Each structure stands twice: as structure tokens, then as C-alpha cells.
Structure 1
Amino acid sequence: MSKAAERHNIDRSVDRSQPVEKLHPNERIKLESGYLRGALDASLAERITGAVLEDDHQLTKFHGTYQQDDRDLREERRRSKLEPAYSFMIRVRLPGGVCQPEQWLQLDELARNYANNTLRLTTRQTFQFHGVLKRDLATTMQGIHDSLLDTIAACGDVNRGVMATPIPEFSALHAQVFPIAKAVSEHLLPGTRAYHEIWLNEQPVYQGDKEDEVEPVYGKTYLPRKFKIGFAIPPVNDVDVFTQDIGFIAIADEDDLAGFNVAVGGGMGRTDNEPSTYPRLGDVIGFIPPDKAVEVAEKIVTIQRDFGNRVDRKLARMKYTIDRNGLDWFVDELEERLGWKLEPARDYHFDTSTDRFGWSKNAEGTWNYTAFIENGRVKDDGAHQVMTGLREIAKVHKGDLRITPNQNLIIACIPARQKARIRKLLEKHGIIAASERSTLRRHSMACVAFPTCGLAMAESERYLPSLITKVEGLLEETGLGDVGIVIRMSGCNNGCSRPYVAEIGFSGRAPGKYNMYLGGGYYGQRLAKPYLENIGEETILQTLRPMFAAYAEKRRDGEAFGDFVIRRGYVAAVHHGTDFNAEVEPEAAGAGATGTRS
């Protein structure tokens, strides 16, 4: 036990030193996997089923793929005595969301040949393929590798893809921040060669009990749960930096990067009806120079490795490690492992978490176009031939392509001489028209949910667009017009679309039923508060109509909707994750609210 742990009398009863039989079953799977190999080779070779063995299903996540089945067909196949229609989701590792046009074209081709003819842009700035059959997994993985990308650690109990604000107008800072984000991503990759052996036909190096392979950061059992890191460049908090396990907030000295404020302990996941679980925003603990970011990230990861809960996965994220032991303990432990102290945090300012759509110009004279991709789904749909249009643009584009944390796409660094050609392609394929939607719609975000996500309890991606249409009608009806309100929806309580920091958030409870949250910060600075439970569309619209009418009449100049519902007493402000589930009365008297608060 470290000196910091001794000083704070930390209880390590749930750390990885426990006997395996007392830990969560996933800990045994990891320990016995031979550094993430398991029996994956045999599972993939078995053609009698479209699935992999259960233990191997857990291990595939570390390789960037999840086993799923088509839930639209599940009951029909059960009645026909057929196994579920299994397929796989594959997630690419793409630090900072930046890819080259040639890579886009290769991924587009893979999606058309082996997936469901769409590309999904995620809330963590990367690509997902859906509907890949087991027989095509290796071929698809090899195709991704041929594009000079991979899927290593895009899922699983490791550090996931590292995010970074992609806005090209901040080119001087972005040029300094992006390489650091990429370096953190590379440094925290698992050291095992399992991925290369299983998917890329590399000669095996692991010889059973022979200790010729090590994981210098993670150890044999890796982390207790997933781990997320993001880099934000103020004034834009598009990465929702406070929702990350580690958030690095860039501090500028004019156009130069002075360093980062470090925030720790963010996380969105929670479990319905279990008040011991909650979303949490990170705490800023200090400032570091740029060249210390990799070291700080590693040491924080090792604290979570050593002290995270390996018995109850619902309480295994780093936010619970911090709240169980105390933030002061965490900082002491970090500084002891570093051998030096953090500097006091420096001033910074955020004013939005949303994207800037349309055209913008960079200091060096190149142009960018930020396109709205509704819920991140790149597909051809009627007049909006987005997948075809982006394919044609990628064939001629001389800059790069950047996925935003809000599931949109920046066609970045377009040479001035090429702008007219890119504009013509955007217009021809309806991409500009798709981007000129209401501000409300462009600020909305949904996770995938049905039919592929096994955790979903309600629709999200397929339903939110129609709900937004009806909410747009309410805004017009109450005189608000094209006001911007951040609305996010997840199909379950895990919060992949980050609904718990939205001004209006929804999480699925059952088909057609949602929990509703109000009062999140417009720029990601405050959690929302549970407001109504298990409600359908009719109640949602009936609830929002009088709120919007009050907002139109009584809002202050420039007041965001999330701030308004707190000031008017609809919900109490959430000052810490532990307040999320608490029965706290709003401080201000307001116009009242319909329904029963959860």
C-alpha cells in the first residue's frame, strides 16, 4: 500500500488483490485469457453459430467489437426455433476524430461490402460499423488495418478512444493539442499482441504460462471498467470534458499552449432504481505543463487499476473510486506516484458544447464546412444522399475530415481554390440542405439503441428525429422560434449520448417510455436532474408546452433553457453527482411543474 493510502486509511477490500472467486466474473475471464486471447480463434472458426462463446464475447470488446443481434427479428426467430440474428459492431480507434480522405474511402467501402451500408459517427469521434457477420469480422478488421487504422482498445476495460476538440479555426492550438491526445492514446494501448495474432495473422508470441509478455500499465486483469479521456480547447466544450474520467482543459498563452487544467472523476453511466449509482462531472484538481500529460494520464490510470471496485461493476468507474476514498486522497496518491505536485488550476472559460455549422475560415486562408449528420448516421436517404456525397467529396478533398463529439463532420482545411467544387458537391447531394435544419435539431443527439444495441430498452436514434419535429412545433407555437436547446436521448440508462448533461435529457425505460431530465448546463458545466419517470410522448409534449411558454415570457436576456428551469424552480441544481438521485427541493419558487418528480 502506498504512503498516501496509509495516510488516509484506505480500504482496499475491493481492489484486484482479492481472491478471484470474490471478484466479478469478468475478472476471472481477463485473468485466464492469456492477455486477451481466450479461445477467440476457435470461436471465430466455429461456423455452426453466428455467435462467439460467452467468455470470448467479453474479450472481443478489448479488440473493438461487440456481439449483437437484430432485435427487430428476435421474437420471430425465437418462434421459428432459430438462434438470434447475430452480427457484430466494430468500432475504430481514431484519436481526436481526425482521418484522411483516403481512409474515409476505405471505411466507406468496408461499410458497403460487409456492414449495413452505413457508417455511424459516434459521440467519441470515431466510426462504428453495424451488422458485420462473424464470417466477415477478420476481413473487415484487416481492411481497417490496411487504411492505417485499427480497433484496438476501442471498447473493453481499458482506456478508450481519446477525444480532442477538432475545430480547425483553433488551428494553432489544435496543432499542439492533437499530437498530445494521440500520444496519450498510443501510450495507454494494451501491450498484448493478441489483436495482431487473431485478426492480422501475426505469429503468436504468448506461450501459455511462460511470462514472455507483460502489460506494463494494466497488468493481467486490466482495469475494473472502461476509462475515458478527453481534451477540450476553450471556449468550446464539445468533448464534454467534465464527463471524462480524465479531462484535459487546454490553457492558452495567446496562440501557444501553456498547459492543461486536469479534471478527474467524470462519467455518465448509472443504473435505474439504484441510487448508489449516478452520473458525475469531473473535479478540476490542478494545472500541468504540456509535456506532463502522458505521465499524468498513466499515473491516474494506475490509481484506478489499483483501487477501482472489482467486485461490483456497477460501482467500478473511477468516479466511485474518488467518492469512496475522497478527492484529497486521490490528489495525494497522484502526486506521490508522480513525484511532483500539480500547480494551481488556471482561469478558463467555456460558452458552448455545440458545433458551429456551415462555413468557417482558418487563419491561413483555408476553409471548413461543418455538416450536420443527424444522430451520426451516414447514409443515403431521399434527397439527402449523405453517404454518396461524402464519398465523392473524399475523392477530391485535399484537407482532412474530422468527426465532432456531437456526431457531426467537419470537412476541414479546404484550399480556397477548391471551395467552389466542394460546395457544389455538398449542394448536389443535399448535405447543405440537411445541415440547414432547426437549431434545436442540430443540437440534438441520440445513441444507436434498437435494433442492434443489446442494452437498449427503448428507441433512440430511430425515434428522436420524429420527437424533435413535434418539439419544433411546440417552439413555434409558444413563440420561441428557432431557439437553441440541447436535447439528448439514450435508449437505456448508460448514457452514451451524454443525456445527463443536456438541458433536456431522456433515457429509455421500456418501449415508448423514458425518464426525463432537466437543467443540464448549456456548455456541459452542470448535470441535469431527474424530473419525470417512465413517460411516453404525449406526457413529454404536455410537460414541455407550458415550460416553453413560460420560457418565452419570463426568460432573461441570453438565459439558457437549462438555467431557466432551475431559476424558475422546476428542478434543483445538481452540484455533485451524489445530488443527482437526492430528493432536493428547488431553491427558487417557480411556475410549477406537471407530473410527479422522480
Structure 2
Amino acid sequence: MSNQPTDPDRSRDLSQPIEKLSADERLKAASDQLRGTIREGLADPLTGAVSETDTKLLKFHGIYQQDDRDLRDERRRQKLEAAFQFMIRVRMPGGVCTPTQWLKLDELARASGGETLRLTTRQTVQFHWVLKHDLRSVIEGLREVQLDTISACGDDARGVMCSVNPHLSPLHAAVYDLAHRASDQAIPRMPAYREIWYGEAPGQSAQPEEPFYGKTYMPRKFKIGFAVPPVNDIDVYSQDLGFIAIAEHGELKGFNVAIGGGMGRSDQSAATYPRLADVIGFVTPDKVLAACEAVMGVQRDYGDRLDRAHARFKYTVDDRGLDWIKTEIERRLGFALDAARPYVFISNGDSPGWNTGEDGMHHLTLFVENGRLSNRPGHALLDGLRAIARVHVGTFRLTPNQNIVISQIPDANRQQIERLAEEYGLLARAYGSALRVNSMACVALPTCGLAMAESERYLPSLVTKIEGLLEVHRLMDVPITMRMSGCPNGCSRPYIAEIGLSGRAPGKYNLYLGGGFHGERLNRMYLENVGEEAILEALDTTLGHFARERREHEHFGDFVIRAGYVDAVRTGRDFNR
């Protein structure tokens, strides 16, 4: 990517004196290109933590400092330091992973990550429970198999998403190739990363500073994704920048460009809201990387650097206006976008089980409830995937719905893979309703410092109780999307689910209804700050009504709007009304 532009009016925020910018902007500017005192903090044996400043800088290195909140009160009573540990997120464009890489991830998880791996909603893996003295060994282990954690967190372009599976068709392969190239282009060069984690000497890098990001990077995180209709598995409208593949007779013609999506919000501020991206035009494949740079450049230069809660691209789009933003993107591109082309989405979920690509190779999608890979009675998921990785000759594909695809299985290996999946309890038919298969949860407690309520640990039991209602109303096989988040930030994309829950306090949630089945519409709050009893009562009423009066092929999210339970949300600014 190119250097920052020199337009005198490039930003009302970057034109401000540095001392008037937000604290995080000043921190980035003074961090010595994200070095801070991370090296010294890692070497301090007297604490399991790093400093508050370095905690923020570590995010750019793909690492979050956390503590075990289940133990927080007890350790405080004993006047002990919190049980600090770290989450490490891997950069994995499009969720593609080789068996060799998977075996290394498994090895590192068993040695330093609490014998568990977490599949995320952005097609990568996270290690939890990593202690400070193990951080470097984990990152060095990732390097051995050509993986890293650069820009997996922080104010930069996060891991680029892509519809799975690139081996289903030449079209999917072409889109994945562009997604990978977009990731390579957008990744920060970060000499600090190589110095701190790989031991390179300062100045050894040929790129001493960031040519695109500068000293202050992006105002906030920036998310990019590529979708292949008719499946919107990446929830393209939730991305800051989304590319929707347009094909004719299986041949990629280009992409519709969608901008301004984002899920995060705050219960305390009506000025924050989720927003769905707007489609602004069409580009041919050879213009995709230029479009990435132009759109990111607009947000880098015009995003709010005074108020961090207002710094996402969605607010820049709404503040400046969609027409202004599009004009500025086109000015940087040097050409006008073509008119958007027709496309159709029909779902945003995965289809567990077997399918076969155009080349005759087989692909097995495994349902992993809430993305948590561990060994439990009857479901030794970690052991099962290790066993498969030892014999698999293809690749693994992590899905945006926290599942995993065993990809490129030849005829000769299909029976063996299926036997192992059955033996270790990996097959989706062991998990019950279509609702469960279409559910997602963020991590939340006990590791996430932002969580206000349970999510991953609670959603399975709540789904079991909802399944009792589905059984009564004969809806067990009807696909309904359900997402739960432990706080308003929306990591599990709850605000586009047909049933969404966001945590408010222990055991209390906001209940949202009316999202679009394929992610095309935001939902609306139906109940505020309620517990399980009220949630189940509301769902019993609405699901029962849906079972009695739904129209042919009507989805639950559409029905609750038609039946008057909630009004449709038309824009992000309409979400809180």
C-alpha cells in the first residue's frame, strides 16, 4: 500500500494536534511503532501481566491480556494478583489450514493453551489460557509452520474472510486467491513484531516504518470479507468492506463493493449502533486490491480519532454521507465504480455433512458447537481432529460459523475420514435441532474482560430448553439463526440473527428478534434486560405463532415482523428507535 496522502483537508481528526487526539491515538503515536516496553514486560518474572500500555499494544501483535474471572474475587480476597493469562489469535486468511499446520496448532494448544482451541467467527483459531512465559514459544511454534498473529487484533485490517470452500469450484478458488492477496496487501509490515517475537535486531528489517498505516494505524479495527452467492456465510453486510462475487456460468466477472458494516455498540449510548454495509458499485477482479487500498485509505484519513467509540468506518460513512464517501473512494481509484450487478443470497449458515466439488473431491463439514474444540465425554473433538490431520492429504477450512471443513478428500480416503469423525463424535447429527446447528456464541466468561454475562458456556443449555419448545411446535428441523454475545460488542454478530441475545448482567440479556435469515436485515430489541424465564416465554409465544401461521418458505425473522412483534430495522441509526 502507498504512503499517506498529503491533502490539506484529508481529515478533521488527523489535522488536530496530537495532544488533542484520543488517548489511544497518542499511545500509538508514542509507542515506537508498537514496540512500547513489551520486550521488558515479557522478561519481568514478578508478575504474570504486562503494563496497561503494553496490553493495548499487544493487540496489534494478535494478543489480548486477560484473567480468569471465575477466580478474580477469590484472588482479590486473598490479596493475590489476578490469574493473568493471554489469548493469542492466529492470522489465517479465508480460514485455510494445512494438516501440518493443524497438528502444530494442536501441539501448542495441548502444551500452552489449556488443551483447547477456539474456532472464531472470523475463520481463524484462538489459544486461551496462555501464560506470559509461554507467549514467545507459541509464536515461534506458529512460525515453524508459516503462521503468525500479525494484525489479528488491533487498529488495522483484521483477518480477511472468504466464503468456503475454495475447492468446491473454480469460482470459489478464484475468490479465495483474491482474498489471500488482499490480506497480504493489508497486513502491517511491523518490524516490532519480528524484533520482539523472532529476535531480529532493530533495523534489520528493510521496512523500518509502516508505509500505509503510519504511526497511528487505523482509527479502529477494519474488517474485510469476500462472499460467494448464494451463500452469505461471511455475513458480508457486517464487514467494513465487503466484496460480493458476481459470476456468469461459473466464471468470476467481478465484485459488488459493500461498505460501512459493523456490529459493535454500547448499551449506554444511543449514538452507537450496528450497521449493515451498503452496496456502492462493481469492480472487476483486477481492481479489487486497488479498491481495498482506496476504501481503507478513506477510513484511515477521515475516521474519528477524537472519540474512539465513534471511530469505526460505519460512523464515518453516516457522518460524511454515502455519496461523499463513494466520491472520495472513486477519486482515489481514479475511475468511477460501475453499477452494482444483480445477485441473490439464500442463507448465511453452513451445511454440515458431505458434499462433492466440481473436481470430484469430497468435503466434510463438521459442526463444532460455539467453536470450542476440547475433549468431552462422547465428543473428543481435539483428539478427533488430530487423528484426522494425521491421515488427511487435503486441507482444513475454518468457516465463519465456527465450524470446520475437512476439504479435498479423495475417494480412497472418504471412508476412513468418516469413520474417524464418527468415532470421535464429530458428526452434526449428534447435536439435535436445526436451531442448534445455526447457533453461535462468543467466548465471554471467564476469559473475556468485556463480558457482562455468559455466552459460550450458557448457550448450549439454553438451546436445549428451546429445543423442548421446538419439539412441541414441530419446528426441530426448521433452520433458524440464533446468536448470543456476552456484551453489546457483537463479536458473534447477534444483531443480524433471527434470534439475538446480548448480555447485560449475570443471567440477564437483551432479546432481539427479526434479523434476516441470510444476514440482510438487522433485528430489533424485543425484551430488555431479562432472564431465562422471560426469554423462554417470549420464544414459546413467537415460535408457536410461527408454527401455526407461517407461510410457505417464510423464515422466522420475516414472520415476527409480519406478525407485528417487532418493526423492521431499515438503517443502523434506526436500530435504537
| Bucket of the pairwise TM-score, normalised by the shorter protein | over 0.9
> What amino acid maps onto 2:54 in structure 1?
D
Could you tell me which runs of 5 or more consecutive residues in structure 2 were left unpaired when the two chains were aligned.
Answer: none
Aligned equivalent of 2:234? 239
Distance 2:394 2:152 in 1: 25
Aligned equivalent of 1:50? 48
> What amino acid maps onto 1:205 in structure 2?
G
**Residues 45-97 of structure 1: CA deviation (Å, up to 9, x unaligned):** 11100111111111000000000000000000000000100000000000000
Displacement of 1:166 in angstroms is: 1.1
Contact 1:121 1:403 in 2 (8 A): yes
Aligned equivalent of 2:389? 394
Aligned equivalent of 1:105? 103
Equivalent position SS for 2:509: strand
Aligned equivalent of 1:26? 24
Distance 1:530 1:144 in 2: 42
Q: Residues 372 and 435 of structure 1: is their aligned pair in 2 closer, same or farther, counting only changes over 3 Å? A: farther
Distance 1:182 1:370 in 2: 22
Whether 2:164 is the aligned partner of 1:166: answer yes
Distance 2:472 2:274 in 1: 34
Aligned equivalent of 2:126? 128
Distance 1:19 1:163 in 2: 36
Displacement of 1:170 in angstroms is: 3.5
Q: Residues 5 and 437 of structure 1: is their aligned pair in 2 closer, same or farther, counting only changes over 3 Å? A: farther
Match of 1:96 among 94, 97, 103: 94
Aligned equivalent of 1:407? 402
Distance 1:123 1:16 in 2: 32
Displacement of 1:4 in angstroms is: 10
1:204-283 matches, within 5 Å, as 204-205=202-203, 213-283=208-278
Contact 2:151 2:159 in 1 (8 A): yes
Displacement of 1:431 in angstroms is: 1.2
Contact 1:4 1:329 in 2 (8 A): no
1:57-76 matches, within 5 Å, as 57-76=55-74
Equivalent position SS for 2:169: helix
Contact 1:34 1:206 in 2 (8 A): no
Aligned equivalent of 2:379? 384
Aligned equivalent of 1:480? 475
**Residues 398-423 of structure 1: CA deviation (Å, up to 9, x unaligned):** 11000000000000110011101111
Contact 1:372 1:435 in 2 (8 A): no
The alignment's TM-score, normalised by the length of structure 2, stands at 0.97
Contact 1:270 1:277 in 2 (8 A): yes
> What amino acid maps onto 1:392 in structure 2?
A
Q: What is the number of equivalent residue pairs in this alignment?
A: 574
Aligned equivalent of 1:427? 422
Aligned equivalent of 1:142? 140
Contact 2:366 2:428 in 1 (8 A): no
Aligned equivalent of 2:412? 417
Aligned equivalent of 2:348? 353
Displacement of 1:291 in angstroms is: 1.1
4+ residue stretches of structure 1 with deviation over 6 A? 1-6
Q: Residues 41 and 53 of structure 1: is their aligned pair in 2 closer, same or farther, counting only changes over 3 Å? A: same
Distance 1:295 1:533 in 2: 43
Aligned equivalent of 2:333? 338
Q: Residues 89 and 473 of structure 1: is their aligned pair in 2 closer, same or farther, counting only changes over 3 Å? A: same
Distance 1:300 1:217 in 2: 13
Match of 1:302 among 290, 297, 303: 297
Aligned equivalent of 1:154? 152
Distance 1:366 1:3 in 2: 51
> What amino acid maps onto 1:531 in structure 2?
Y
Displacement of 1:441 in angstroms is: 0.4
> What amino acid maps onto 2:379 in structure 1?
H
Equivalent position SS for 1:475: helix
Q: Residues 553 and 4 of structure 1: is their aligned pair in 2 closer, same or farther, counting only changes over 3 Å? A: farther
Distance 1:235 1:121 in 2: 24
1:570-585 matches, within 5 Å, as 570-582=565-577
Aligned equivalent of 2:79? 81
> What amino acid maps onto 1:503 in structure 2?
E
- Bigger drift between 189-198 and 133-142 goes to 189-198
**Residues 529-549 of structure 1: CA deviation (Å, up to 9, x unaligned):** 111110000000011111111
Whether 2:557 is the aligned partner of 1:559: answer no
Displacement of 1:29 in angstroms is: 1.1
**Residues 247-301 of structure 1: CA deviation (Å, up to 9, x unaligned):** 0000012121101000000000000031100000000000001011111101111
Displacement of 1:478 in angstroms is: 2.2
Equivalent position SS for 2:487: coil
Displacement of 1:434 in angstroms is: 5.9
Whether 2:488 is the aligned partner of 1:493: answer yes
Contact 2:392 2:409 in 1 (8 A): yes
Q: Residues 482 and 24 of structure 1: is their aligned pair in 2 closer, same or farther, counting only changes over 3 Å? A: same
Contact 1:4 1:333 in 2 (8 A): no
Equivalent position SS for 1:431: coil
Aligned equivalent of 1:510? 505
Equivalent position SS for 1:199: helix
Distance 1:221 1:151 in 2: 19
**Residues 546-588 of structure 1: CA deviation (Å, up to 9, x unaligned):** 1111101111001000000000111111111011011xxxxxx
> What amino acid maps onto 1:291 in structure 2?
D
The alignment's TM-score, normalised by the length of structure 1, stands at 0.94
Equivalent position SS for 2:114: coil
> Percent identical across equivalent pairs?
57
